[in-house]
Structure 1
Amino acid sequence: MRKPRIDYVAVFRALPGMVALLTPDLVYADANDDFLRLAGRTREQLLGRYIFDVFPENPNDPAAAGMRETRESMLRVVATGERDTMALLRYDIEDPQRPGVWREHYWSPVNAPVQDPDGQVALVVHRVEEVTELIHARGGTNGGARARVLEAELYTRARELQEVNERLRQAHAHEREVALALQAAMLPAPGPTGPHAAAVRYRPALGALNVCGDWYDLVDLPGDNLAVAVGDVVGHGLAAACAMGQLRSALSAACRVADGPAQAVEALGLYARFVEGAEATTVVTTFIDWDRRTIAYSSAGHPPPVLAHADGTVTFLDRATDPPLAARPEHLPRPQAHTRFTEGDTLVLYTDGLIERRGEDIYTGLDRLAESVTRHRHAPPEALADALLGDLLPTMGSTDDTALIVLRL
């Protein structure tokens, strides 16, 4: 059966209901026939013009907020790449045939992004349900007092809902800023560690409170040796940031006195039982001995570090994996394994935001990581870290935060 040829321009024009396309600058790019008919404008009056030049706000309504709320909704779509649904909105339209005469309208808008191949928002789909006639009809065929009461009640409730949504957005944004600032203050600054080049990265989740549970650390050990660790707290926002700070500090201290990474992770697991929100945290710790050229490691439920050899082979450090912190009722010693490295090898530690994708097997993400590390293995750590993020993170950002350490051995 032949696949039908579809004229998507004709489909767009014929769509039922009001639909318009705007650029990220909120300039009209197109509008369907229902939008033109119900808005009382021609296509020539819309295309290439700023939305609020075409539809300014009613100057006779001192309580009007439709322009501000519509603009903020559309700009959120451009900034986040996510759909934004607005509450019922009153937005009067000036009669194009009678300047100065404004017609009362009630709208229910939804704004959605259209992304280009690079993941950037190229267009905003502005879909509007015109419900003015419905409101009038519910109050009687000729409007009247009942209609006016219903209109006032719906409009008031819509404004209250919009205000609640705006307060929630502001609280969300404030908590996210505080959590990120707290995490930035607790994580060590990026840069070289002794004579060995290291690069660290942290990428918060995009437009969500699912941030601030990941951490990294580099700890100097006796004999110019080094402990390198990454961890991931289950949780979001300030609570996750606080738990992360406590666990990172505890592990840093444990690494300085423990005989090896297993003992350090074991001590951290005991401590986690008394830290609210620390249950099921994953962490992996490596002790690097430069003289013996060995890496000792121990993992509590964390994705395995990658050791990229100069000859192009890759080893996953996965022979000492145990359940996450405080995940089992009884206390048992943690496992530990060793592997050798040669000068010029690269060690990569990371959190699951780098490799995991919804609906995808974790081994697919690990294979993707191994391929990227191998391809960029000769790059300096800073360039390699950027290349890994570029290869593995979604263009529009991840739904989980990501911590990454790249160390040239």
Structure 2
Amino acid sequence: MSHLSITLTTQPPADFYAPNSVLSVENHQAKIHLTDPENELAVIQKAGRQLDGLGIMQIQLIGDWQIEQQWALAQSFTTTQKQLHIQWCDDQNKTELINRYECMLFTRNLINATPEDLSPEVLANSCANWLQSLTDHSISYSFCTGEELKKQGWMGIYHVGRGSTRPPVLLELDFNPTNNPNAHVSACLVGKGITFDSGGYSMKSSEGMLSMKCDMGGAATVTGGLGLAILRGLNKRVKLFLCCAENLVSGHAYKLGDVITYKNGTTVEIVNTDAEGRLVLADGLMAASETGAELIIDAATLTGAAQVALGSEYNAFFALDKNLEQRALKYANSEQEPAWALPLEKWHRNKCPSAFADTANSRPQKGGGGGGASNAAGFLSRFVNEDGAGWLHIDLAAAYNPSNTPCLPAGATAQGFRTIAKTLLEENNN
């Protein structure tokens, strides 16, 4: 059996099914039993994983489905090997679901790509080409690559990426629907695009390195979010900055004890080459700040500390602008993407002291020591305006699952792209 029609029911399954069963199948029809109203979407996701386990290849949703119910099943049933296999309900939500699904697939597939196939230049090109394919509006972009990064003063991306034979890249993409070159840039997105993270000379274990193809999840997620906002009708100018590099070991790689001097004059001592994400994001945040945009969102698979704090179900939000943070949490909740605010105050930027520079890039302790996620956010706050007005940092703790969970398949989740799209649209309407 490779094709099933799926309906929802609030009735329990027949007695001969296992206790707590959420799925029943008869002939070419299946029912998902919504017997736990407090966790309805999770029940649907668990049913999706069971359908996948049965080897079902195609599903058709029939009957009365709400939009988030359809989406929950799509998230859990879609795997790296099985995509474009869902026939949505023929209702008013179909266009939104088709658009949302395209953006999810782009984000997941990019994150799941092998590091051999996805060099920094390929990552930057893939994101630019995909966004151009979505709209007739004006999209232009430019790359700053390799030694040119050093000449232009983008020292974080340059130093992190110089150990690889495949050059690092800063992508600047301009979505300008007015076609007016003097139009105000209303928002900027900044994404961490580390296409593979060995840890550098602070080398990860084999187990820790295995899933590090996902370390460009920030770049994929902000691109997916911008794509969804465009498909939902974004009509304001937005710039995208992707900070792309491979963090590898070689005779030309950056080293512990090096000091990087940034474009804004900040000096940074390298005490951990595996704390590289914040080094590349610093360049992207400075480039975004130069535009004068009122809203800057960066996203990154930045710290293990965020995942220790929140697990793999929630993304972590950080902001000095507490009003923006609260609005963003509401957007995340409305988009069914769990998020939680972790502490960030101005004094967090001084939590990684150095005797040789303005700051170190971490603390010389495993995982950066206590409060590592907040300290990383504090480091980033040095590269936006003094009060952090209009800046939101997202640590993507929920971006990737190394193996199947009860609700989601192994690999990239794309969690966060809907929140970014919603934030762009809502904040631009304020």
Normalising to structure 2: TM-score of the pair? Answer: 0.28
Which of structures 1 and 2 has the bigger CA Rg? 1
Greater RCO (CA < 8 Å, at least 6 residues apart): 2
Normalising to structure 1: TM-score of the pair? Answer: 0.29
